[in-house]
Chains A and B, each alone.
Chain A
Amino acid sequence: MTRTPSLAALRAGLETALDPDARAWLDQSLTEAADHKADSGQGPVPTWELRFAQAGRRCGPEHADDARLLLLHAARADTATLTRLYEQGTAAERRAVLRTLDHLVPGPEALGLTEDALRTNDTSLVAAAVGPYGAEHLGAHAWRHAVLKCLFTGVSVDEVAALADRARGDAELARMLGDFARERTAAGRPVPADLQRVLALTEVSAETSAETCTETSVETSAVEAPGASSTEPLTRAGAPTEPPSEAAPAASAASPQES
């Protein structure tokens, strides 16, 4: 998911998907959000913010993200409001805030929320943090670590907005990926398939990317010849814990202990 669909498309999709009760609830809530007075930060919680919290049980978990996104838009939530909702939110509410940042915050002033989400180990938050707002505003170092974190925690790199554009010709990212691949290989563990995909994106040659790429093509032979050019000792200190055994259905999950 690299593009957020238009608001009209979201609204239309929800209108058809929701049952009549949920649709009526959403219409009413969007009206409340649109009508609310800019709040002072004092006094009781504005009604629309309560609706924001309740969206999961009113619209169903599968539609909650879209409903919350529409509410934030209708309320024209500013950075201060978004920050408060994020800080006081459940994981689902936080994810919804992260997904609206590129719509509602023109500059980097909400980047702290993205950075907070990237420090968590909840893959749903990490995935939301590498969306369009993160792609637009994360600095090079933080963005590379975000990509690496996706690979560590099993978040598909399909979630990383503008992946090809930002990865193209990124020699430092290629080096990090190569080192990560070597570390995995040394530990006798498979290298995530997504890693090769991202690595390939960093390798785009000068003629196909001359217009956007100022860095030269990258040396990535280290991945093909594990350990050959490693300059730092392999360490197990950062090795993630092994995933749990097969007993539980989701137990092959990436370890949330990864940090």
Chain B
Amino acid sequence: MRIFDPHIHMTSRTTDDYEAMYAAGVRAVVEPAFWLGQPRTSPSSFYDYFDSLLGWEPFRAAQYGIAHHCTIALNPKEANDPRCTPVLDQLPRYLVKDNVVAVGEIGYDSMTPAEDTALAAQLQMAADAELPALVHTPHRDKLAGLHRTIDVVRESALPLDRVLLDHLNETTVKDAKDAGCWLGFSVYPDTKMDEDRMVALLKEYGPEKVLVNSAADWGKSDPLKTRKVGDAMLAADFTEDQVDQVLWRNPLAFYGLSGRLDLDVADTDATHEGNSILRGGE
């Protein structure tokens, strides 16, 4: 089973996780820029984080045979903090980087005017940079948040079919699908979505444009949830081809809209020089 986790925060994970992910079939990941649990107090803190997503983290991933790309954005939570909003002015210079495959995570957290501004501005940046967008849907007041999100996208320069609406569930999937967006599901231990609910949704709505992710980060989460969904799909009589569509081809197609995916880990920066790594200096 080959797996592309389209939403995982590897910065918060260990090398044991990389190893286990590879063993489970994960060969590619996208790491969206998000908040770190601890609020940032200056734009510089974001730039170091973005640089890490474009430098150190792909290097780490490549050592474990996993291709790493990222999405870059000012996240909705910190879009409310005036100490952080100057980041918006610097985003265009990051969005041209080779490894950036979408603008994200953007979207709503508390649905404030500051979040409106940041979302609209960043949808425009995605259109300008010819990138798709990864849009987070809020945890509180979710259905209202989804409707407002779709309305803002509709008014933007970015077509709905270049938008992945993430953290969907039973209450939001239908409207997201009707809008023509890509459909993201974060499968967590305990909350959001579990394997069995995910399989039930796949039965009802089909595998088209559906992406499943672990959204694993610094909170309670499981970087192997993608594999567990694949196993649950097979147990529920989905074919291997359908599993491949959801866990590999759909994420490939969505992020492929950027024209920037390079899944050949042997050719990544790290292992390009890193034939020296492979020799094993230790």
Contacts and interface: CB of A to CB of B under 8 A. Distances in A.
Interface in B229-282: 259-260, 262, 264, 267-282
A122 B274 CA distance: 9
Contacts of A254: 277, 280-282
Contacts of B55: 90-91, 94, 122
A6 to B, nearest CB: 22
Contacts of A159: 273, 276
A123 B278 CA distance: 11
B56 A189 contact: no
Contacts of A90: 51, 54-55, 97-99, 269
Contact of B272 (A62, A240, A242, A253): A62
A155 B276 contact: yes
Contacts of B272: 61-62, 124
A252 B276 contact: no
A108 interface: no
Given A124-B273, A159-B276, A249-B65, A256 B59 contact: yes
Contacts of A62: 267, 272
B interface majority secondary structure: helix
A53 B97 contact: yes
A124 B63 contact: no
B98 to A, nearest CB: 4
A154 B98 contact: no
Nearest to A55: B98
Contacts of A150: 281
A245 B62 contact: no
Contacts of A57: 98, 259-260, 262
B22 interface: yes
A199 B282 CA distance: 18
A55 B99 CA distance: 11
A151 interface: yes
B36 interface: no
Given A153-B281, A192-B281, A250-B62, A61 B19 contact: no
Nearest to B62: A250
Contacts of B1: none
A93 B94 CA distance: 12
B2 interface: no
Interface in A83-131: 88, 90-95, 120-124, 127-128
A64 B98 CA distance: 10
Contact of A255 (B18, B275, B282): B282
Given A91-B54, A240-B282, A248-B64, A123 B15 contact: no
Interface in B92-146: 92-93, 96-99
A91 to B, nearest CB: 4
Interface string B191-221: 0000000000000000000000000000000
Interface residues of A, number: 50
Interface in A203-247: 240, 242-245, 247
A156 B280 CA distance: 10
B276 A91 contact: no
A158 to B, nearest CB: 8
A7 interface: no
Nearest to A156: B276
A152 interface: yes
Interface string B1-28: 0000000000000011011001100000
Given A56-B262, A124-B273, 20 more contacts: A50-B96, A53-B98, A56-B98, A61-B267, A61-B268, A90-B54, A91-B59, A95-B273, A123-B59, A124-B270, A128-B273, A240-B282, A244-B64, A247-B22, A250-B63, A250-B64, A251-B65, A253-B274, A254-B280, A254-B282
Interface of B: 15-16, 18-19, 22-23, 51, 54-56, 58-60, 62-65, 92-93, 96-99, 259-260, 262, 264, 267-282
User: When A and B form their complex, which 8 residue pairs have the shortest distance between CB atoms, in order from nearest?
Assistant: A154-B281, A56-B98, A124-B273, A91-B55, A254-B281, A90-B54, A248-B64, A248-B22
26 contacts: A45-B93, A50-B96, A53-B93, A56-B262, A61-B269, A61-B272, A90-B99, A91-B55, A91-B58, A91-B59, A91-B269, A152-B281, A154-B276, A154-B277, A154-B280, A155-B276, A159-B276, A247-B22, A248-B22, A251-B64, A252-B280, A253-B278, A253-B282, A254-B281, A256-B59, A256-B60
